[in-house]
Amino acid sequence: MSDGEIQPVGQEAQGLFGVSGSGDTSGFGGLVNQSPSAAPLVSTPAPLGEYFDEVVDSLQQLLGDDIARAVIVDRGELTIHVAPDRVADVCQSMRDDENLRFELCSSVSGVDYPEQANRLHVVYHLTSMTYRRRVRLETAVSLDHPVVASVTAVYPTADWQEREAYDMFGVVFEGHPHLTRILMPDDWEGYPQRKDYPLGGIAVEYKGAHIPPPDERRAYK
Amino acid sequence: MTATDNAHDIFEDEDAYAAERDTTEGKVYTVTGGDWDEMVAAVDPVNDERLIVNLGPQHPSTHGVLRLVCEMEGETVRSVRPVIGYLHTGIEKNLEYRTWTQGCTFVTRADYLAPIFNETGYCLAVEKLLDIEVPKRANTIRVIMMELNRISSHLVALATTGMELGALSMMIYGFRDREKILDIFEAVCGLRMNMAYVRPGGVSQDIPAEAVGMIRDFVDYMPQGLDDYEGLLTGNAIWQERTQGVGYLDVSGCLAMGVTGPVLRSAGLGWDLRKTMPYCGYEEYDFDVPTHNGADAWARYVIRLAEIRESLKIISQGLDKLEPGPVMVADKKIAWPAQLATGADGMGNSLNHIRHIMSQSMEALIHHFKLVTEGFRVPAGQVYTAIESPRGELGIHAVSDGGTRPFRVHMREPSFVNLQALPALAEGGLLADVIAGGASLDPVMGGCDR
């Protein structure tokens, strides 16, 4: 479980329209995309700026320096990568410590990065109403052992949101009171938001032409 | 006799619409309205102390395709289990197969009573990923449209709550006045709902002078309408009885259940993202955040009326701030190339633009084609943006892998999160108060199930 597997998957692409060589006729060839999938997960060097240092320092004082596997500041947002079995501990401290006071768990969502060993990520967005701050917690698990500690005991609002992440990605939240499907039918097979789950759909005839379903259409990537 | 014994019997011998049968779970009654008395007579009051009543998903009082499984002891609700997912349309999954711009047409269909909020939240996320800033006029138009949309959404909330509690006149008035806002939307962008009007980089087209006049007329008209609603409901003894002390949820309950928006403010916490974490230039507007300390369905009714008045203030200020200027970023690598114009038959292409690309400039045609079919690339990374929708915090978690399509978009829908609180505010009360409490949460199932 190396830290290098946590960054988003990118594409090797050059130029606005992804062409290489001389194919770009648009004149907008200045944009070069980095491919974050190959790069190791690199923490942003301190100082992080704004309130970020204070939050990370408080958390590390409470739970030890190794609680954050990486701390990344991007586009003015703080992301703390934590181990899947520590999420509930982290949330407990984030909610209760008087320097942190993240009272509200705004959102829990899953993301699937199929090229990584720990491909299923769970992302928590916490909001501190006291200090008017936001922070993102992120954790990653593999398909073999997709188990994350449930935060429902700390944030009851995570109940349905964790059920949705289970329903859509197959992440198992240990300690959740009743982890069942929520949006899909109870007897549904598969986890629809995973990247290897097909979108589905049928070809549609329009004035004699057959329009294929969206996931079979020509893509410009 | 169970259905498996002799399957054809159910069609031959029994009335399928008012059937009574035994299952492993106990005796099952199917009741569809007028036969309630028969069922009450059939229930054994001694042995059937607890009755499971299944409300919905097709039920006029559950505020959409929401199913409520209520465990009843007499008229008292012992437990409520909301069952959702009946309107799940896979919007988040679909977004991953379209360009970033096409995403607008999907997110706008989630919470169909607040389409402008879905679009704006999504576009703010895309713009944050792109690290671009939209022109001032576009921001002002977004604010005006959002506040109009907030009013129309609150009007539906009042109308449907009225309908569900038996105040049918309120339903007629609420929908009547919402219609005026939909007419404004139609004048602005050609569509009344699901407009995809807000686009990454700005808005799809400028607001026409005619629409500005309509908005001014509406701002003049609406206060009288609000006075009428208050005259109709506020002093009404039945309305007070049905809402006061019903559906109680205090601040700590709201925070634990993640409830935001008017419900949180009705419990006394003035948390409004427009004030606390401003976006789209809301910090430049002068408005109040109404709060109440009732924490019940009545307080939510009062808050929604007060919020409509505040929205009217914001709209007037927005109209004064409207200065001529572009409504889309100048960066041609991102700005939608097709200029749209409102014609006699709704939103359509601008003839000038078509003339330009079809008969004047080959490069313009290529550019148009590439940007429309392929879309623009968004640098890799993830962002979370949150806006104050009529129902609370609408958050968009957008992840890009550097491509022309979203890698993942998650909508933190206030309807979805708030609905979790229904058991907390309804259990222990009467069945009729489940309806009043649920209506006061104002869930929209399109947003809840996405």
Of the candidates A10, A132, A193, the beta carbon closest to that of B380 is on A10
Per-run averaged pLDDT (10 residues), chain B, 450 residues: 42 50 65 66 68 79 82 86 90 90 92 92 93 91 94 92 86 92 89 89 87 92 90 88 89 91 92 91 92 91 93 92 88 78 65 85 85 84 92 92 87 92 89 87 89
Q: Distance (Å, rounded) from C-alpha B410 to C-alpha B385?
A: 11
Architecture of domain B91-334+376-413: Orthogonal Bundle (1.10)
Tell me how far CA of residue B94 lies from CA of A193, A202, A218, B88, in angstroms: 10, 14, 15, 12
The rounded Cα B80 to chain-centroid distance in angstroms is 23
Residue B94 identity: N
Q: Decide if pLDDT at A32 tops 60.
A: no
List pLDDT tens digits, range B212-259.
999 999 999 999 989 988 888 888 888 888 898 888 999 999 999 999
pTM of the model: 0.85
Q: What average pLDDT does the structure give for chain A?
A: 81
Q: Do B97 and A220 touch (CB under 8 A)?
A: no
- HSE (side-chain half, CA atoms, 13 Å) at B401: 21
Q: Decide if pLDDT at A14 tops 90.
A: no
Of the candidates A75, A77, A106, the beta carbon closest to that of B131 is on A75
Q: Distance (Å, rounded) from C-alpha B306 to C-alpha B296?
A: 15
Of the candidates A17, A79, A123, the beta carbon closest to that of B374 is on A17
Contacts for B19 with CB less than 8 Å, ≥ 6 apart: B10, B28, B29, B30
Which pLDDT does position A65 carry in this prediction?
A: 83
Q: How far is B364 from chain A (nearest CA, A)?
A: 10
DSSP states along A124-193 = EEEEETTTTEEEEEEEEE-SSS-EEE--TTT-TTHHHHHHHHHHHH--EEET-TT---SSS-TT--S-TT
Residue A176 backbone phi and psi in degrees, to 5: -70, 135
ipTM score: 0.82
Look up residue B200 and give its two tokens. 């990454």
**Closest listed residue to residue A94, CA positions, set A179, A167, A158:** A158
Look up residue B75 and give its two tokens. 């008229």
Question: Is A112 part of the contact surface with chain B (CB cutoff 8 Å)?
Answer: yes
Q: Show residues of chain B in contact with A79, CB under 8 Å.
A: 382
DSSP states along A86-127 = GHHHHHHHHHH-TTT---EEEEEEEEE-TTSSS-EEEEEEEE
Provide the pLDDT confidence category of residue A29 given band limits of 50, 70 and 90.
Answer: very low
Question: Is A192 part of the contact surface with chain B (CB cutoff 8 Å)?
Answer: yes
**Closest listed residue to residue A157, CA positions, set A108, A214, A100, A211:** A108
- HSE (side-chain half, CA atoms, 13 Å) at B314: 30
Contact present, B434 and B123 (Cβ < 8 Å): no
Which pLDDT does position A5 carry in this prediction?
A: 41
Which pLDDT does position B178 carry in this prediction?
A: 92
Which pLDDT does position A35 carry in this prediction?
A: 47
**Closest listed residue to residue B161, CA positions, set B149, B152, B151, B171:** B171
Residue B205 backbone phi and psi in degrees, to 5: -160, 160
Which pLDDT does position B3 carry in this prediction?
A: 41
Radius of gyration over alpha carbons of chain A, in Å? 20
CA B313, B319, B325, B330 dihedral sign is positive
List pLDDT tens digits, range A169-182.
999 999 999 899 99
Q: What residue ranges do the domains of chain B occupy?
A: 91-334+376-413
Burial class (CB in 10 A: 0-12, 13-18, 19+), B81: middle
Q: Do B386 and A221 touch (CB under 8 A)?
A: no
Q: Distance (Å, rounded) from C-alpha B144 to C-alpha B181?
A: 11
Residue B237 identity: A
Determine what percent of chain A is predicted with pLDDT higher than 90: 36
User: Cis (ω within 30 of 0) for the bond into B290?
Assistant: no
Question: Is A104 part of the contact surface with chain B (CB cutoff 8 Å)?
Answer: yes
User: Cis (ω within 30 of 0) for the bond into B406?
Assistant: no
Question: Is A60 part of the contact surface with chain B (CB cutoff 8 Å)?
Answer: no
Look up residue B381 and give its two tokens. 């990374």
Beta-ladder partners of B343: B346
Domains, chain A, in order of start with CATH, read 1-39 (no CATH), 43-189 (3.30.460.80)
Q: Distance (Å, rounded) from C-alpha A46 to C-alpha A39?
A: 19
Radius of gyration over alpha carbons of chain B, in Å? 25
Provide the pLDDT confidence category of residue A39 given band limits of 50, 70 and 90.
Answer: low
Question: Is A109 part of the contact surface with chain B (CB cutoff 8 Å)?
Answer: yes
Q: Decide if pLDDT at A221 tops 60.
A: no
In chain B, which residue's Cα lies nearest the Cα of A168? Answer: B93
Q: How far is A190 from chain B (nearest CA, A)?
A: 14
Look up residue A13 and give its two tokens. 């692409």
Which pLDDT does position B180 carry in this prediction?
A: 93
Report chain A's terminal Cα–Cα distance, integer Å: 30
Q: Distance (Å, rounded) from C-alpha A172 to C-alpha A165?
A: 9
Contacts for B30 with CB less than 8 Å, ≥ 6 apart: B16, B17, B18, B19, B20
Q: Show residues of chain A in contact with B84, CB under 8 Å.
A: 182-183
Q: Do A156 and B92 touch (CB under 8 A)?
A: no
Q: How far is A47 from chain B (nearest CA, A)?
A: 21
